[in-house]
Amino acid sequence: MFLSFFYLLRARGLNVSLNEWLALIEALDKGLCKASLLGFYHLCRSILVKSETDYDKFDLAFAEYFQGIVTPEDIPEEIWKWLSQDVKTRDINDRTMLDDFVLELEELQKRLRERIEEQKEKHDGGNYWIGTGGTSTMGYNGYHERGIRVGGEGRHKNAVQVAGERNFKDFRQDNILDIRQFQMAFRKLRQYSSRLDGAKTELDIDGTIDETCENAGSLRLVWERPRKNTVKLLLLFDSDGSMMPYSNLCSQLFQAVSKSNHFKDLKVYYFHNCIYEHLYTTPHCRRGEWINTEWVLSNLSSEYKVIFVGDASMAPSELMSKGGNCYVGLYNEIPGIDWLKRFKSKYPKHIWLNPIPEREWDYTYGYRTLQAIKELFPMYELTLDGLEAGIKKLLVSR
Amino acid sequence: MSNKMNQFMGSSDYVVSDELMHAVNVAIALQKPLLIKGEPGTGKTMLAESISKALSKNLIIWNIKSTTKAQEGLYVYDTVQRLYDSQFGEGDVSDIKKYIKLGRLGESFTSEDQAVLLIDEIDKADLEFPNDLLWELDKMEFYINETKETVRTKHRPIVIITSNAEKELPDAFLRRCIFHYIEFPDASKMEEIVRVHYGDIEEKLLGQAMEAFYWIRDLKEIQKKPSTSELLDWLQALMISGISIDRIKSEIPFAGVLLKKNQDIDAMYEIKQKGYSLKRWL
């Protein structure tokens, strides 16, 4: 009976299958929705939605379907005119044409809803949206006012209000990127080997069978060493002022790495824009709190996998020329790019994570140095997808 | 509802939201497993206990660890014991049944009365783990290869599964579950929860502590947010110490009970003093 709701949910990106839909019908037959729309809302949500990240999508779709948020009054005159013109051009007896019309109406409604959503975000999000307006030809007044009112009233009034509150907006997967997700990505960074030292704690089944046979069938157990992760990681963070906007993101990455205890060894150093004679041991990059880059290159074996994290954006001289180090009072004999090249040749497994979104790489303010560094190291943006791709890159054998 | 006996209404020591109660009852009525997610400390595990108490049913807990295999929940065939017995001539080795030991899932299937089965922290296990249980949770039966027997349920157990979202669960598994996400309780709900635990708590102390608690939870700089169980511990510490109520909000005494990380405590005090924190990533 609500079949169109089912298709609406699917159209809104919720992966609802027929099984779940049948379960919902069964539940309705059993009277589990308690004959109220709120009950129905909770029933639908618990059966059809399988992740809190989808709660928001569900709320939106539910509000859309059951409130008809887009009431005819909300659609401006011109669009009505356009719509009615459209109808006139079509033959009413032609079914496919009719469907077509419905589709177009839906598309229109979708666009309208996008505008409406934008408006709501403008209101919710505060500073960001203000001033970007201008796309208001579609008229997005209705829901905005309503949005405020719904939020202001107490909960449990009716289902549509609850759905309209969008309490789960923060859980949308496309919005958040938390430590755990980074951690999950880092878990993939492992290579097992049993050639390490350690107590023999695992039963070697083949060995046990052989030994037991040798021993005329009387059981003799054979143990072997458990397989351990052999990955060693060298993490180099850019801690320059230009990285400040991304500090939260970098901080999450740092925590994710430092919490991942499955690495055989983890070394973290910081640099200021580019790598020169010294690598800093703290993110503050203070003079003296450093070790020699030479020491790192000679003491950390080439087994280490290297991850650079930085915006790779700087004045070209900082990367290319002698004395380019922008830290007042420090002079480098070797240009930064040569240091980077030394890292590249010493450590065959290397990637660069860049917090600047990839689409801006070609024209961001430091695009020249960024491109030069990108030629040296495989560069990925610092997002979950980028990190996963980068880790894959670190693991492939050459 | 047809079966009033199996209606979960919460229990005296567990505050349940309407939504959660509803989800539990839906799961019971549809005989599907209920998958519970939520922040740590929102009482995911407690829920199963509460259900078993409220409906006076036996609770069977299957704690999942990273090494747990699905098979272990069904049954284990103790081959080593049988081998030993055959070597030392003890017992009747031809009776394989003796060496079949039912796991927690098997136990709940064969239980004489309907049981509540809690599969705790399913996401701790291997990625394939949930897939290996699809058939068993769907049909509530499994086959023992060694004895050629099929174990069927006498009464389908009420299955509660908790997850901390460490791993994504496979779609096929999710489709078979009823899902509920436990939201972090808001202030009024939290007060109710506190009162269930400490009925005689002083009004003013609770008010001040709650204000401080939600202030700390809202700080962006805190990495591990305190949860319900930490608040309860903290309240107890405050009550026992008899610290003056005015100092709770201004000093946040026993911050170590609420915040479990040095960085978080430092950041909190820094913000308290200066109104901001410059700590970046150490």
Pull the structure tokens for residue A369.
């140095």
Beta strand A350-354 pairing with A305-309: parallel
Per-residue pLDDT at A194: 57
* Segment A178-187 mean pLDDT: 70
Interchain pair A42, B22: CB under 8 A = yes
In A315-374, the residues whose Cβ lies within 8 Å of chain B are none
A chain contacts of residue B223, beta-carbon cutoff 8 Å: 179, 255
Looking at the complex, does the CB of residue A31 fall below 8 Å from at least one CB of chain B?
Answer: yes
Query: Chain B contact for A154, CB < 8 A?
Result: no
- Cα separation, A19 vs A394, in Å, equals 41
Q: Smallest Cβ distance to A47: which of B87, B178, B282?
A: B178
The residues on B that touch A, with CB distances below 8 Å, are: 1-2, 18-19, 22-23, 25-27, 29-30, 32, 35, 37, 80, 83-84, 87, 165-167, 171, 174-181, 183, 223, 280-282
More confident: A341 or A76: A341
Contact A66, B49 (CB under 8 A): no
| Burial of residue B91 (number of CB atoms within 10 Å: 0-12, 13-18, 19+) | middle
Q: Which pLDDT belongs to residue B59?
A: 92
Q: Does the beta-carbon distance from A283 to B282 stay under 8 Å?
A: yes
Q: Write the residue in A20, A179, A250 that is nearest to B175 by C-beta.
A: A20
Q: Which residues of A touch B178 (CB under 8 A)?
A: 46-47
Which of 231-250 (A) contact B at CB < 8 A? 237, 247, 250
Give yes or no for residue A15 having a pLDDT over 50: yes
3-class DSSP assignment, residue A278: strand
At residue A149, what is the residue type? R
Query: How much is the pLDDT for B61?
Result: 93
A10 and B CB contact within 8 Å: no
pLDDT at B9: 75
Q: What is the mean pLDDT of each run of 10 residues along chain B (282 residues)?
A: 57 79 89 87 85 90 87 88 81 83 89 90 81 85 87 88 78 88 84 84 86 85 80 88 82 85 81 66 40
Mean pLDDT computed over A322-343: 82
> Which residues in chain B touch residue A36, judged by CB atoms under 8 angstroms apart?
none
At the topology level, CATH places domain B4-182 in Rossmann fold (3.40.50)
Q: What pLDDT score was predicted for residue A143?
A: 30
CB contact under 8 A, A251 and B84: no
Q: Are B209 and B217 in contact (CB under 8 A)?
A: no
What's the pLDDT at B39?
A: 79
- The more confidently predicted of residues A354 and B167 is A354
Contact A31 B1 (CB under 8 A): yes
CATH architecture of A229-395: 3-Layer(aba) Sandwich (3.40)
ipTM of the complex: 0.76
Can you give the pLDDT at residue A218? 81
- pLDDT reported for residue A1: 57
Gap between the Cα atoms of A21 and A310, Å rounded: 47
Average pLDDT of A216-233?
A: 81
Assign B247 to helix, strand or coil: helix
Counting one residue from chain A and one from chain B, the pairs whose CB atoms sit within 8 A come to 82
Residue labelled with tokens 């040095």: B262
Q: Enumerate the domain spans of chain A.
A: 3-171, 229-395
Contacting residues for A15 by C-beta, under 8 A, at least 6 apart = A50, B171
Please name which of A56, A74, A190 lies closest in space to residue A124, comparing C-alpha atoms: A56
Domain map (residue ranges) of chain B: 4-182, 187-274
Task: Select from B22, B27, B87 the Cβ nearest to the Cβ of A218.
Answer: B87
Is the pLDDT confidence value at A171 over 60? no
Nearest CA in chain B to A250: B281
Closest partner residue to B281 among A55, A219, A254, by Cβ?
A254
User: What is the value of pTM for the model shown?
Assistant: 0.58
CA distance A148 to chain B (A): 20
Q: Considering only CA atoms, give the Rg of chain A.
A: 30
